[in-house]
Amino acid sequence: MPKIEVHRDTLFEYIGRRIEETEFVELLTAAKAELDEPADERGMMKIELNDTNRPDLWSTAGLGRQLHSYLGGTREEYGFFSTREAACEHADRRVLVDVRLQDIRPYIAAFAVVGTPISDVLLEDVIQTQEKLCWNYGRKRSSIAMGVYRSDLIEYPVRYNAVAPDGLKFRPLGMEEELTPAEILAQHPKGLEFGGIVKDFSRYPMLLDSRERVLSFPPITNSADLGAVEVGDARLFVEMTGTDMPSLLVACAIAACDLADAGYEILPVQIEYPYDTPLGRTVVTPIYFQEPVTLDIEYASRLLGAELSQDEVLQGLERMGISAVAQNGAVRISPPAFRNDFLHPADVAEDVMIGHGMDRFTPLAPTDFTVGRLSASEEYGRRIKTNLVGLGYQEMIFNYLGSYREFVERMYPPDHQEEHSRELVRIANPMSENYAYLRGSALPHLLGAESISAHAVYPHRIFEVGKVARTNERQNYGSVTLDTVAMLIADATADFNLLNQNIAALLYFLRVEYSLRESDDPRFIPGRVAEVVHFGEVLGVFGELHPQVLENWGITVPCAAGELFFNPLLAE
C-alpha cells in the first residue's frame, strides 16, 4: 500500500484546524488511512493509505482535502476545468503532438501554474506526488510519467515529438555532459531503471519548446536546464505523458487540484493531436470527463444493512466531498474530477457508509450455519492437475488480467483480430493498459512464460488450470466464466502427435469419451490443429502453434499447445 510523508502543520492547514493525535488517528479512517509513524522533530509523519483506488489521497493536499470535507468543511469548486462540451481555446499555451507518437506513447496532458514562490515543503510534496502517481498509479512510469518545469524559460508552443535515438543531444538532470537519448538509456541512472519502457521503439518521445530546447525525455528524465525546478520558482509548467488517456487525465486533475489547494492559479493548456483520441483531436487540460452515477436509496439501505433516508444519503456524500442531487428515490452523483473509482452504485454506497462513520452501522453476526467444501470445478481441476503432473508437466499460475496486445495482437493475424477482440471482457477503468482485459484464453499466459524461459533445459511442459471470461449477451452480466486447462510443450520435437498423445492420456484417466475433427483456428498451423468434441460439444482445441504467433512472442523453438474447457464435464 502507498505510504506518504507529510508535514504535520501543512496538513493541518489543509484540514482547517489542528487535531490531537488520538483524534487524528481515528479521523484517518475516513480516508482509509493509518498513522504509520507520528511526527518527528521536523514535524514530518508517515501515513499509509489502504485504498489503491484513491490516488488523489497520496499527497498532503489530497489527504487534507478529504479530511477537511469529512469534518464539515465546504467542498472546493475548481473553475479551471474544461469539458467535452466547452473546451475553450488557449492559443497562447499549446502542445503540438507528433503523429509518430501514436504507437509509442500517444497521450499528453498539461497545465501551467502561477503563484507565490514555491517553498521547500511544497516542492518536496510535489516531488512526492509525482513519484507516487508515476510509480503506483502509473505502473512505474510505463502508463503515466510526470514532469515539472520552470515555465518562465519555456516558449510556446511546446512540441511533443518522436526523435531518433541518436538524433538529439541535451544535458539530463544530474549530469554535466550532453547525451543522446540512446546514451541516456545506457548511462543515466533513470535510463537504466526505466529505459525498458521505450528502448524497443525506433523513435523516442521528446518534449521541446518552440526554440527546440529540450524539456524532457519522457518517461526517463528531465533536462538539467528547463526541467530543474528550484525553491523560489513561482511559475511552473506541468505535463504528463502516457499510454492510457483516462488514467492520465485523472492524474492531471489530481496534480492540478493539489496545486490549486496550495493557493496557485491553474492555467489550462491546449493539446493538439494529429490523430483521433477518446476525447477528440483538440483537448484542453485539465478536463472534466467523468460520467454521473445513480444510487438507488433502497439499494444502498439494503447493501449497508440500515434504513437510510434521502437526506442521510446526501449528508454522507457531502462529507466525502461528493456533489449529489436527489431524484425519484435515488441520488445522482457527479464524481470529482480527481476520482475515477465510481464504477458501480456500490462504490457510491461505500462513500455513504464512510461519510456516516463505521460506528453508524451495527454489525450483525452470521445466522446461518454453513460447512465449507470444495466446489465441483475445484475437485475436477485437482484431478486434471494430478494427471498432468504425472505426465511430466509443471503447473503455472497466472493473473487473469492482461493487455490487448497479449490477448489479441500477438495471438491472431490482423484480419482475425477484430473478431476475437469482441470476445474479450474489458475493464471499465483499468489502472494500466497492461491489465485492461480479462483473458478469454490461458494460452497467451503460457506463451508469455515460455518467452522468458529460453535459458531452461528443454523440453518445457507447462500447464495451468484456471478460469477465463468471454462476452455472452445471453448472460445477465453480459459475460460467462469458463473453467479451463491449457497445456504447452516447447521443444524441437514438439508436434501435433506428441500433444495428441498427452491429451488422449489425460481424457482416458478422466474417463471422457471424445473425438477429433479438423479446425481452422488461425493461432495454429493449418492442417495441424484439431477440435476436441464430446458428444457433439466442442471442449477445446490443440495443435502446433503458428510460426507467426511464436515470433510475436519471441519464441525460437516449435511449440504445441492446447486448451480444454471442462465445464460440460462437471455434471457427469
Please state the domain extents for the chain. Answer: 3-70, 82-288, 293-357, 376-569
Do residues 541 and 562 make contact, with C-beta atoms less than 8 angstroms apart? yes
* Domain 376-569 belongs in CATH node 3.50.50.60: no
The answer to whether the 3-70 and 376-569 domains have the same CATH topology is no
Pick the CATH number of 3-70 from 2.30.42.10, 3.30.56.10, 3.30.530.20, 2.30.30.60: 3.30.56.10
Span 211-268, pLDDT tens digits: 999 999 999 999 998 888 889 989 999 999 999 999 999 999 999 999 999 999 999 9
For the cut 90, the answer to whether the pLDDT of residue 366 exceeds it is: no
Give me the chain's average pLDDT, please: 92
| pLDDT value for 433 | 80
For residues 404 and 363, the model is more confident at 404
Cell of 287: 478536463
DSSP for residue 400: S
| Alpha helices in 4-90, H assignment, sequence order | 8-15, 21-27, 60-70
* Residue 543 neighbours by CB under 8 Å, 6+ apart: 496, 499, 519, 521, 524, 525, 528, 529, 530, 560, 561, 562
Q: Identify the H or E element spanning 458.
A: none
| pLDDT surpasses 90 at 370 | no
Average of pLDDT values for 147-151? 92
pTM equals: 0.74
Class of the CATH-defined domain 293-357: alpha beta
Check pLDDT > 70 for residue 467. Answer: yes
User: In this structure, are residues 59 and 47 in contact, taking their beta carbons and an 8 Å threshold?
Assistant: no
Taking a C-beta distance cutoff of 8 angstroms, is the pair 269, 95 a contact?
A: yes
What is the CATH architecture assignment of 82-288? Answer: 3-Layer(bba) Sandwich (3.50)
DSSP string, 147-159: EEEEGGG--SSEE
The lowest-confidence range among 289-293, 369-373, 398-402, 419-423 is 369-373
The pLDDT tens digits for 508-552 are 999 999 999 999 999 999 999 999 999 999 999 999 999 999 999
Does pLDDT of 50 surpass 90? no
- Confidence band (pLDDT; 50, 70, 90) for 90? low
Q: Give 411-459 pLDDT, tens digit per residue.
A: 999 999 999 999 999 988 776 788 899 999 999 999 999 999 999 999 9
Mean pLDDT score, 41-68: 91
DSSP letter at 198 equals: T
Rounded to whole angstroms, the maximal C-alpha distance in the chain is: 78
CA distance 354 to 97: 42
**Amino acid 91: pLDDT:** 65
pLDDT, position 506: 96
